Structure 1
Protein backbone atom coordinates (compact mmCIF):
# COMPACT_ATOMS: atom_id res chain seq x y z
CA UNK A 1 0.00 0.00 0.00
CA UNK A 2 1.35 3.43 -0.95
CA UNK A 3 2.14 5.73 1.94
CA UNK A 4 -0.19 8.70 2.32
CA UNK A 5 1.08 12.21 1.76
CA UNK A 6 1.69 14.51 4.69
CA UNK A 7 -0.67 17.44 5.13
CA UNK A 8 2.00 19.84 3.86
CA UNK A 9 2.71 17.69 0.79
CA UNK A 10 -0.99 17.49 0.01
CA UNK A 11 -1.38 21.25 0.39
CA UNK A 12 1.55 21.94 -1.94
CA UNK A 13 0.23 19.49 -4.53
CA UNK A 14 -3.25 21.00 -4.38
CA UNK A 15 -1.93 24.55 -4.76
CA UNK A 16 0.13 23.46 -7.75
CA UNK A 17 -3.05 22.13 -9.36
CA UNK A 18 -5.01 25.26 -8.46
CA UNK A 19 -2.39 27.53 -9.98
CA UNK A 20 -1.97 25.40 -13.10
CA UNK A 21 -4.65 27.44 -14.90
CA UNK A 22 -2.04 30.17 -15.34
CA UNK A 23 0.25 27.92 -17.40
CA UNK A 24 -1.76 27.79 -20.67
CA UNK A 25 -2.44 31.52 -20.33
CA UNK A 26 1.30 32.17 -20.11
CA UNK A 27 1.82 30.01 -23.19
CA UNK A 28 -0.83 32.00 -25.03
CA UNK A 29 0.87 35.26 -24.02
CA UNK A 30 4.22 33.95 -25.26
CA UNK A 31 2.72 33.09 -28.65
CA UNK A 32 0.88 36.41 -29.00
CA UNK A 33 4.02 38.33 -28.02
CA UNK A 34 6.18 36.20 -30.35
CA UNK A 35 8.62 35.46 -27.53
CA UNK A 36 9.86 32.11 -28.95
CA UNK A 37 10.45 33.72 -32.37
CA UNK A 38 12.22 36.69 -30.81
CA UNK A 39 14.65 34.42 -28.98
CA UNK A 40 15.13 32.17 -32.02
CA UNK A 41 15.75 35.05 -34.45
CA UNK A 42 17.35 37.84 -32.45
CA UNK A 43 19.16 35.63 -29.97
CA UNK A 44 20.33 33.22 -32.68
CA UNK A 45 19.12 30.49 -30.33
CA UNK A 46 21.03 32.11 -27.43
CA UNK A 47 19.28 33.43 -24.30
CA UNK A 48 18.11 37.04 -24.23
CA UNK A 49 17.55 39.36 -21.29
CA UNK A 50 14.08 40.60 -20.39
CA UNK A 51 15.09 44.06 -21.61
CA UNK A 52 16.18 42.64 -24.97
CA UNK A 53 12.96 40.67 -25.40
CA UNK A 54 10.92 43.72 -24.38
CA UNK A 55 12.74 45.88 -26.92
CA UNK A 56 11.81 43.55 -29.79
CA UNK A 57 8.20 43.32 -28.57
CA UNK A 58 8.02 47.11 -28.56
CA UNK A 59 9.47 47.30 -32.07
CA UNK A 60 6.89 44.90 -33.46
CA UNK A 61 3.86 46.36 -31.65
CA UNK A 62 4.85 50.04 -31.58
CA UNK A 63 3.88 49.98 -27.91
CA UNK A 64 6.17 49.98 -24.86
CA UNK A 65 6.55 46.51 -23.34
CA UNK A 66 6.54 46.65 -19.54
CA UNK A 67 9.52 44.64 -18.36
CA UNK A 68 8.15 43.88 -14.87
CA UNK A 69 5.12 42.04 -16.26
CA UNK A 70 7.18 40.43 -19.01
CA UNK A 71 9.62 39.16 -16.38
CA UNK A 72 6.79 37.53 -14.46
CA UNK A 73 5.51 35.83 -17.60
CA UNK A 74 8.81 34.43 -18.84
CA UNK A 75 9.79 33.33 -15.35
CA UNK A 76 6.54 31.38 -15.10
CA UNK A 77 7.34 29.82 -18.47
CA UNK A 78 10.80 28.90 -17.20
CA UNK A 79 9.29 27.27 -14.10
CA UNK A 80 7.36 24.80 -16.28
CA UNK A 81 10.20 24.07 -18.68
CA UNK A 82 9.08 26.21 -21.60
CA UNK A 83 12.06 28.56 -21.28
CA UNK A 84 15.53 28.22 -19.85
CA UNK A 85 16.62 30.72 -17.21
CA UNK A 86 20.20 31.84 -16.68
CA UNK A 87 21.19 34.07 -13.78
CA UNK A 88 24.28 36.23 -13.53
CA UNK A 89 25.22 39.07 -11.18
CA UNK A 90 26.35 42.47 -12.47
CA UNK A 91 29.10 44.57 -10.94
CA UNK A 92 26.61 46.15 -8.57
CA UNK A 93 25.48 42.78 -7.24
CA UNK A 94 22.12 42.90 -9.02
CA UNK A 95 20.97 39.58 -10.51
CA UNK A 96 20.49 39.55 -14.26
CA UNK A 97 18.21 37.01 -15.92
CA UNK A 98 18.33 35.66 -19.46
CA UNK A 99 15.81 33.37 -21.11
CA UNK A 100 16.34 30.85 -23.87
CA UNK A 101 14.49 28.17 -25.79
CA UNK A 102 13.87 24.61 -24.69
CA UNK A 103 12.60 21.69 -26.75
CA UNK A 104 9.07 22.83 -25.82
CA UNK A 105 9.39 26.49 -26.84
CA UNK A 106 11.15 25.50 -30.08
CA UNK A 107 7.83 23.90 -31.04
CA UNK A 108 6.21 27.34 -30.73
CA UNK A 109 8.56 29.11 -33.14
CA UNK A 110 6.36 30.15 -36.04
CA UNK A 111 9.14 30.49 -38.62
CA UNK A 112 11.08 27.40 -37.60
CA UNK A 113 12.11 24.35 -39.60
CA UNK A 114 9.21 22.29 -38.28
CA UNK A 115 5.51 23.03 -38.11
CA UNK A 116 4.75 25.32 -35.20
CA UNK A 117 2.34 24.30 -32.44
CA UNK A 118 1.53 27.98 -31.81
CA UNK A 119 -1.88 27.79 -33.59
CA UNK A 120 -2.91 24.91 -31.32
CA UNK A 121 -2.05 26.98 -28.23
CA UNK A 122 -4.26 29.81 -29.47
CA UNK A 123 -7.11 27.46 -30.43
CA UNK A 124 -7.25 25.65 -27.10
CA UNK A 125 -7.16 28.97 -25.26
CA UNK A 126 -9.90 30.75 -27.18
CA UNK A 127 -11.98 32.83 -24.77
CA UNK A 128 -15.18 31.01 -25.74
CA UNK A 129 -13.57 27.70 -24.78
CA UNK A 130 -12.06 28.99 -21.54
CA UNK A 131 -15.44 30.48 -20.60
CA UNK A 132 -16.96 27.01 -20.97
CA UNK A 133 -14.74 25.62 -18.22
CA UNK A 134 -16.38 28.07 -15.82
CA UNK A 135 -19.60 26.08 -16.24
CA UNK A 136 -18.43 22.50 -15.72
CA UNK A 137 -20.51 22.34 -12.54
CA UNK A 138 -23.58 23.54 -14.47
CA UNK A 139 -23.12 20.77 -17.02
CA UNK A 140 -23.40 18.22 -14.21
CA UNK A 141 -26.42 19.77 -12.55
CA UNK A 142 -28.32 20.81 -15.68
CA UNK A 143 -27.15 18.15 -18.11
CA UNK A 144 -25.93 20.65 -20.70
CA UNK A 145 -22.59 21.13 -22.47
CA UNK A 146 -20.43 23.62 -20.58
CA UNK A 147 -19.54 25.44 -23.81
CA UNK A 148 -23.20 25.92 -24.69
CA UNK A 149 -24.00 27.17 -21.20
CA UNK A 150 -21.27 29.80 -21.47
CA UNK A 151 -21.88 30.93 -25.03
CA UNK A 152 -25.58 30.25 -25.68
CA UNK A 153 -24.81 27.84 -28.54
CA UNK A 154 -22.61 24.88 -29.45
CA UNK A 155 -19.04 25.33 -30.61
CA UNK A 156 -19.77 24.69 -34.31
CA UNK A 157 -22.64 27.15 -34.39
CA UNK A 158 -20.50 29.64 -32.48
CA UNK A 159 -17.66 29.30 -34.97
CA UNK A 160 -20.03 29.71 -37.91
CA UNK A 161 -21.04 33.09 -36.46
CA UNK A 162 -17.55 34.19 -35.40
CA UNK A 163 -15.11 34.11 -38.34
CA UNK A 164 -12.02 34.92 -36.28
CA UNK A 165 -12.71 32.19 -33.72
CA UNK A 166 -13.46 29.84 -36.61
CA UNK A 167 -10.13 30.63 -38.26
CA UNK A 168 -8.13 30.20 -35.05
CA UNK A 169 -9.90 26.95 -34.15
CA UNK A 170 -9.45 25.43 -37.61
CA UNK A 171 -5.77 26.41 -37.79
CA UNK A 172 -5.21 24.88 -34.37
CA UNK A 173 -6.86 21.61 -35.29
CA UNK A 174 -4.91 21.44 -38.55
CA UNK A 175 -1.63 22.04 -36.75
CA UNK A 176 -2.42 19.27 -34.31
CA UNK A 177 -3.30 16.84 -37.11
CA UNK A 178 -0.34 17.52 -39.40
CA UNK A 179 2.56 15.93 -37.44
CA UNK A 180 0.40 12.95 -36.41
CA UNK A 181 -0.74 12.13 -39.93
CA UNK A 182 2.77 12.55 -41.33
CA UNK A 183 3.74 9.68 -39.04
CA UNK A 184 0.60 7.59 -39.66
CA UNK A 185 0.95 7.52 -43.45
CA UNK A 186 4.52 6.24 -43.11
CA UNK A 187 3.68 3.28 -40.87
CA UNK A 188 0.11 2.32 -41.89
CA UNK A 189 -0.04 0.42 -45.17
CA UNK A 190 -3.81 -0.09 -45.27
CA UNK A 191 -4.11 2.82 -47.70
CA UNK A 192 -2.32 0.80 -50.40
CA UNK A 193 -5.46 -1.14 -51.32
CA UNK A 194 -7.87 1.80 -51.26
CA UNK A 195 -9.06 3.77 -54.26
CA UNK A 196 -10.88 6.53 -52.38
CA UNK A 197 -11.01 7.91 -48.85
CA UNK A 198 -13.63 10.21 -47.33
CA UNK A 199 -12.64 12.11 -44.21
CA UNK A 200 -15.88 13.05 -42.43
CA UNK A 201 -15.41 16.08 -40.16
CA UNK A 202 -11.99 16.49 -41.73
CA UNK A 203 -11.61 20.15 -40.83
CA UNK A 204 -9.57 22.05 -43.37
CA UNK A 205 -8.25 18.84 -44.91
CA UNK A 206 -4.92 18.25 -43.15
CA UNK A 207 -5.46 14.51 -42.77
CA UNK A 208 -6.71 13.83 -46.29
CA UNK A 209 -3.93 16.01 -47.73
CA UNK A 210 -1.30 13.88 -46.00
CA UNK A 211 -2.94 10.68 -47.25
CA UNK A 212 -3.20 11.65 -50.93
CA UNK A 213 0.30 13.14 -50.88
CA UNK A 214 1.73 9.80 -49.76
CA UNK A 215 -0.70 7.69 -51.81
CA UNK A 216 -1.41 9.67 -55.02
CA UNK A 217 -3.55 6.87 -56.45
CA UNK A 218 -6.22 7.65 -53.85
CA UNK A 219 -9.09 10.01 -54.59
CA UNK A 220 -9.54 11.97 -51.36
CA UNK A 221 -12.71 13.71 -50.25
CA UNK A 222 -12.81 16.11 -47.31
CA UNK A 223 -16.27 16.62 -45.77
CA UNK A 224 -17.12 19.19 -43.12
CA UNK A 225 -19.48 22.05 -42.35
CA UNK A 226 -19.61 24.98 -44.80
CA UNK A 227 -18.00 27.50 -42.43
CA UNK A 228 -15.06 25.13 -41.94
CA UNK A 229 -14.56 24.34 -45.64
CA UNK A 230 -14.58 28.05 -46.46
CA UNK A 231 -11.30 28.46 -44.55
CA UNK A 232 -9.62 25.44 -46.18
CA UNK A 233 -6.76 25.87 -48.62
CA UNK A 234 -6.81 23.93 -51.90
CA UNK A 235 -5.63 20.33 -51.51
CA UNK A 236 -2.88 19.27 -53.88
CA UNK A 237 -3.35 15.79 -55.28
CA UNK A 238 -6.53 13.89 -56.13
Structure 2
Protein backbone atom coordinates (compact mmCIF):
# COMPACT_ATOMS: atom_id res chain seq x y z
CA UNK A 1 0.00 0.00 0.00
CA UNK A 2 2.86 2.37 0.89
CA UNK A 3 4.52 1.59 -2.43
CA UNK A 4 1.26 2.28 -4.30
CA UNK A 5 0.98 5.66 -2.57
CA UNK A 6 4.53 6.55 -3.60
CA UNK A 7 3.86 5.51 -7.21
CA UNK A 8 0.62 7.52 -7.27
CA UNK A 9 2.38 10.58 -5.80
CA UNK A 10 5.23 10.29 -8.30
CA UNK A 11 2.80 9.94 -11.22
CA UNK A 12 0.83 12.96 -10.05
CA UNK A 13 3.97 15.11 -9.87
CA UNK A 14 5.03 14.02 -13.38
CA UNK A 15 1.65 14.83 -14.92
CA UNK A 16 1.07 18.11 -13.06
CA UNK A 17 1.81 21.20 -15.17
CA UNK A 18 4.28 23.74 -13.77
CA UNK A 19 1.53 25.93 -12.35
CA UNK A 20 3.76 28.69 -10.89
CA UNK A 21 5.65 29.10 -14.18
CA UNK A 22 2.43 28.92 -16.22
CA UNK A 23 0.71 31.45 -13.99
CA UNK A 24 3.68 33.81 -14.27
CA UNK A 25 3.71 33.50 -18.07
CA UNK A 26 -0.03 34.16 -18.28
CA UNK A 27 0.34 37.15 -15.98
CA UNK A 28 3.13 38.62 -18.12
CA UNK A 29 1.12 38.01 -21.30
CA UNK A 30 -1.94 39.69 -19.81
CA UNK A 31 0.15 42.60 -18.54
CA UNK A 32 1.69 43.10 -21.99
CA UNK A 33 -1.77 42.99 -23.59
CA UNK A 34 -2.90 45.69 -21.16
CA UNK A 35 0.09 47.82 -22.15
CA UNK A 36 -0.82 47.45 -25.82
CA UNK A 37 -4.43 48.39 -25.11
CA UNK A 38 -3.23 51.53 -23.32
CA UNK A 39 -0.47 52.18 -25.83
CA UNK A 40 -1.60 55.69 -26.74
CA UNK A 41 -1.60 56.85 -23.11
CA UNK A 42 2.15 56.81 -22.51
CA UNK A 43 3.28 58.91 -25.51
CA UNK A 44 0.49 61.40 -24.77
CA UNK A 45 1.64 61.68 -21.15
CA UNK A 46 5.23 62.03 -22.37
CA UNK A 47 4.19 64.80 -24.78
CA UNK A 48 2.56 66.65 -21.89
CA UNK A 49 5.70 66.27 -19.76
CA UNK A 50 7.89 67.64 -22.56
CA UNK A 51 5.59 70.54 -23.45
CA UNK A 52 5.37 71.61 -19.79
CA UNK A 53 9.10 71.15 -19.32
CA UNK A 54 9.01 68.60 -16.49
CA UNK A 55 12.39 67.14 -17.45
CA UNK A 56 13.92 70.59 -17.85
CA UNK A 57 12.67 71.66 -14.41
CA UNK A 58 14.30 68.70 -12.68
CA UNK A 59 17.49 68.87 -14.78
CA UNK A 60 18.05 72.58 -14.05
CA UNK A 61 18.18 71.93 -10.31
CA UNK A 62 21.33 69.90 -10.87
CA UNK A 63 22.67 66.37 -10.95
CA UNK A 64 20.84 64.02 -8.61
CA UNK A 65 17.97 66.47 -8.05
CA UNK A 66 14.84 65.05 -6.46
CA UNK A 67 11.64 67.08 -6.68
CA UNK A 68 8.08 66.52 -5.58
CA UNK A 69 5.03 67.12 -7.77
CA UNK A 70 4.47 70.31 -5.76
CA UNK A 71 8.02 71.46 -6.53
CA UNK A 72 7.46 70.88 -10.24
CA UNK A 73 4.03 72.55 -10.23
CA UNK A 74 5.52 75.62 -8.54
CA UNK A 75 7.67 76.18 -11.66
CA UNK A 76 4.69 76.10 -14.03
CA UNK A 77 2.66 79.14 -15.15
CA UNK A 78 -0.50 77.95 -13.40
CA UNK A 79 -2.62 78.68 -10.33
CA UNK A 80 -4.44 75.36 -10.57
CA UNK A 81 -4.41 73.91 -7.02
CA UNK A 82 -4.86 70.41 -8.43
CA UNK A 83 -1.80 70.60 -10.71
CA UNK A 84 0.45 68.60 -8.32
CA UNK A 85 -2.12 65.80 -8.21
CA UNK A 86 -2.26 65.51 -12.01
CA UNK A 87 1.53 65.71 -12.25
CA UNK A 88 1.92 62.92 -9.69
CA UNK A 89 -0.52 60.68 -11.57
CA UNK A 90 1.31 61.15 -14.84
CA UNK A 91 4.72 60.64 -13.28
CA UNK A 92 3.60 57.47 -11.53
CA UNK A 93 2.23 56.09 -14.81
CA UNK A 94 5.45 56.90 -16.66
CA UNK A 95 7.51 55.31 -13.89
CA UNK A 96 5.39 52.16 -14.00
CA UNK A 97 6.35 51.85 -17.66
CA UNK A 98 10.06 52.35 -16.80
CA UNK A 99 10.17 55.77 -18.41
CA UNK A 100 12.37 58.87 -17.88
CA UNK A 101 11.35 59.80 -14.34
CA UNK A 102 11.15 57.57 -11.31
CA UNK A 103 9.35 58.03 -7.98
CA UNK A 104 12.15 56.11 -6.27
CA UNK A 105 13.74 59.26 -4.90
CA UNK A 106 12.18 58.83 -1.47
CA UNK A 107 9.59 61.01 0.24
CA UNK A 108 9.39 64.28 2.11
CA UNK A 109 6.72 65.83 4.29
CA UNK A 110 4.33 68.62 3.35
CA UNK A 111 2.10 69.63 6.25
CA UNK A 112 2.70 66.24 7.79
CA UNK A 113 1.80 64.36 4.60
CA UNK A 114 4.34 62.21 2.78
CA UNK A 115 4.81 62.94 -0.92
CA UNK A 116 6.91 61.17 -3.55
CA UNK A 117 10.11 62.65 -4.88
CA UNK A 118 11.00 62.26 -8.56
CA UNK A 119 14.39 62.16 -10.22
CA UNK A 120 15.58 61.76 -13.81
CA UNK A 121 16.65 58.38 -15.14
CA UNK A 122 19.53 58.27 -17.67
CA UNK A 123 17.14 58.11 -20.64
CA UNK A 124 15.90 61.59 -19.70
CA UNK A 125 19.21 62.97 -20.99
CA UNK A 126 17.91 62.23 -24.47
CA UNK A 127 14.62 64.05 -23.84
CA UNK A 128 15.82 67.07 -21.85
CA UNK A 129 17.75 69.71 -23.85
CA UNK A 130 21.53 69.33 -23.64
CA UNK A 131 24.03 72.18 -23.40
CA UNK A 132 23.29 73.03 -27.04
CA UNK A 133 19.53 72.92 -26.49
CA UNK A 134 19.16 69.70 -28.49
CA UNK A 135 17.04 66.67 -27.53
CA UNK A 136 14.70 64.01 -28.89
CA UNK A 137 11.78 65.80 -27.25
CA UNK A 138 10.74 67.58 -30.48
CA UNK A 139 10.61 64.20 -32.22
CA UNK A 140 8.12 62.90 -29.67
CA UNK A 141 5.96 66.03 -29.73
CA UNK A 142 5.92 66.08 -33.53
CA UNK A 143 4.84 62.45 -33.83
CA UNK A 144 2.08 63.12 -31.29
CA UNK A 145 0.84 66.28 -33.00
CA UNK A 146 -2.83 66.41 -33.92
CA UNK A 147 -2.20 66.68 -37.66
CA UNK A 148 0.03 63.62 -37.58
CA UNK A 149 -2.19 61.62 -35.24
CA UNK A 150 -5.28 62.20 -37.39
CA UNK A 151 -3.77 59.97 -40.07
CA UNK A 152 -3.43 56.86 -37.89
CA UNK A 153 -7.14 55.90 -37.93
CA UNK A 154 -6.91 55.89 -41.72
CA UNK A 155 -4.33 53.09 -41.77
CA UNK A 156 -7.13 50.56 -42.12
CA UNK A 157 -8.44 52.33 -45.22
CA UNK A 158 -4.96 52.55 -46.74
CA UNK A 159 -4.61 48.77 -46.38
CA UNK A 160 -8.05 47.98 -47.80
CA UNK A 161 -8.24 50.67 -50.47
CA UNK A 162 -4.63 51.65 -51.06
CA UNK A 163 -2.91 54.98 -50.75
CA UNK A 164 -1.08 56.72 -47.92
CA UNK A 165 -2.98 57.42 -44.73
CA UNK A 166 -1.69 60.98 -44.23
CA UNK A 167 -2.47 61.90 -47.82
CA UNK A 168 -5.95 60.41 -47.55
CA UNK A 169 -6.81 62.47 -44.47
CA UNK A 170 -5.19 65.77 -45.44
CA UNK A 171 -5.34 65.59 -49.22
CA UNK A 172 -1.59 66.10 -49.56
CA UNK A 173 1.70 64.52 -48.53
CA UNK A 174 3.45 64.99 -45.22
CA UNK A 175 6.02 67.19 -46.97
CA UNK A 176 3.40 69.42 -48.61
CA UNK A 177 1.31 69.91 -45.48
CA UNK A 178 3.69 72.41 -43.77
CA UNK A 179 2.88 74.90 -46.56
CA UNK A 180 -0.77 74.74 -45.46
CA UNK A 181 -0.05 74.74 -41.73
CA UNK A 182 3.03 76.81 -40.77
CA UNK A 183 2.69 75.71 -37.13
CA UNK A 184 3.10 72.09 -38.21
CA UNK A 185 5.98 73.16 -40.41
CA UNK A 186 7.82 74.65 -37.45
CA UNK A 187 7.30 71.45 -35.46
CA UNK A 188 8.55 69.42 -38.42
CA UNK A 189 11.68 71.56 -38.83
CA UNK A 190 12.45 71.45 -35.11
CA UNK A 191 12.05 67.67 -35.08
CA UNK A 192 14.37 67.20 -38.07
CA UNK A 193 17.03 69.56 -36.70
CA UNK A 194 17.11 67.99 -33.25
CA UNK A 195 16.90 64.41 -34.51
CA UNK A 196 19.60 64.92 -37.14
CA UNK A 197 21.90 66.59 -34.63
CA UNK A 198 21.55 63.79 -32.08
CA UNK A 199 21.87 60.97 -34.60
CA UNK A 200 24.75 62.37 -36.67
CA UNK A 201 26.79 63.28 -33.61
CA UNK A 202 26.34 59.76 -32.32
CA UNK A 203 27.21 58.33 -35.74
CA UNK A 204 30.45 60.29 -35.98
CA UNK A 205 31.64 58.90 -32.66
CA UNK A 206 32.30 55.55 -34.32
CA UNK A 207 31.90 55.92 -38.11
CA UNK A 208 35.12 56.85 -39.94
CA UNK A 209 33.83 56.67 -43.50
CA UNK A 210 34.11 60.41 -44.14
CA UNK A 211 37.86 60.61 -43.61
CA UNK A 212 38.68 60.29 -47.33
CA UNK A 213 35.61 62.12 -48.68
CA UNK A 214 36.24 65.36 -50.61
CA UNK A 215 32.70 66.30 -51.61
CA UNK A 216 29.41 65.36 -49.97
CA UNK A 217 25.96 66.14 -51.37
CA UNK A 218 22.94 65.92 -49.07
CA UNK A 219 19.77 65.38 -51.10
CA UNK A 220 16.82 66.86 -49.22
CA UNK A 221 19.15 68.23 -46.57
CA UNK A 222 16.71 70.81 -45.22
CA UNK A 223 18.54 73.42 -43.16
CA UNK A 224 21.89 71.67 -43.76
CA UNK A 225 22.29 70.59 -40.13
CA UNK A 226 23.68 67.19 -41.13
CA UNK A 227 26.24 68.69 -43.50
CA UNK A 228 27.32 71.31 -40.98
CA UNK A 229 28.02 68.69 -38.33
CA UNK A 230 29.95 66.45 -40.73
CA UNK A 231 32.00 69.23 -42.34
CA UNK A 232 32.79 70.69 -38.91
CA UNK A 233 34.55 67.46 -38.02
CA UNK A 234 35.96 66.91 -41.52
CA UNK A 235 36.77 70.40 -42.89
CA UNK A 236 38.34 68.95 -46.04
CA UNK A 237 34.84 68.05 -47.25
CA UNK A 238 33.03 70.40 -49.61
CA UNK A 239 29.39 70.12 -48.60
CA UNK A 240 26.52 70.69 -51.03
CA UNK A 241 23.03 70.97 -49.58
CA UNK A 242 20.39 70.16 -52.21
CA UNK A 243 16.80 70.96 -51.26
CA UNK A 244 13.75 72.92 -52.35
CA UNK A 245 12.93 76.25 -50.68
CA UNK A 246 9.93 76.28 -48.38
Question: More displaced, 122-131 or 35-44?
Answer: 35-44
Matched residue SS, 1:28: helix
Q: Which has the larger radius of gyration?
A: 2
The residue aligned with 1:97 is 116
Match of 2:71 among 52, 57, 65: 52
Q: Offset of 1:92 from its aligned partner?
A: 8.5
Q: State the alpha-carbon separation in 2 of the partners of residues 35 and 17 from structure 1.
A: 25
Question: Is 1:175 the counterpart of 2:194 in the alignment?
Answer: yes
Distance 1:210-1:62 versus aligned 2 partners, 3 A rule: same
Distance 1:71-1:217 versus aligned 2 partners, 3 A rule: same
**C-alpha contact (below 8 Å) 1:50/1:70 kept by paired residues:** yes
**C-alpha contact (below 8 Å) 2:135/2:198 kept by paired residues:** no
TM-score by length of 2: 0.79
Q: State the alpha-carbon separation in 2 of the partners of residues 89 and 172 from structure 1.
A: 37
Q: State the alpha-carbon separation in 1 of the partners of residues 116 and 197 from structure 2.
A: 36
The residue aligned with 1:82 is 100
Deviations 1:50-107, CA, capped at 9 Å, x for gaps? 11111111xxx25536222222111122222211104537599844111111112232
The residue aligned with 2:239 is 220
Match of 2:80 among 46, 54, 64: 64
Deviations 1:121-180, CA, capped at 9 Å, x for gaps? 222222111111111111101101111122222111111222221111121122112132
**C-alpha contact (below 8 Å) 1:185/1:210 kept by paired residues:** no
Matched residue SS, 1:193: coil
Question: More displaced, 43-52 or 96-105?
Answer: 43-52
Question: Is 1:18 the counterpart of 2:18 in the alignment?
Answer: no
Question: Is 1:208 the counterpart of 2:224 in the alignment?
Answer: no
**C-alpha contact (below 8 Å) 2:108/2:117 kept by paired residues:** no
Could you tell me which runs of 5 or more consecutive residues in structure 1 were left unpaired when the two chains were aligned.
228-238
The residue aligned with 1:129 is 148
Distance 1:199-1:4 versus aligned 2 partners, 3 A rule: farther
**C-alpha contact (below 8 Å) 1:40/1:101 kept by paired residues:** yes
Could you tell me which runs of 5 or more consecutive residues in structure 2 were left unpaired when the two chains were aligned.
1-20
Q: State the alpha-carbon separation in 1 of the partners of residues 194 and 65 from structure 2.
A: 27
The residue aligned with 1:149 is 168
Matched residue SS, 2:239: strand
Q: CA RMSD in A?
A: 2.6
TM-score by length of 1: 0.81
Q: Offset of 1:19 from its aligned partner?
A: 0.7
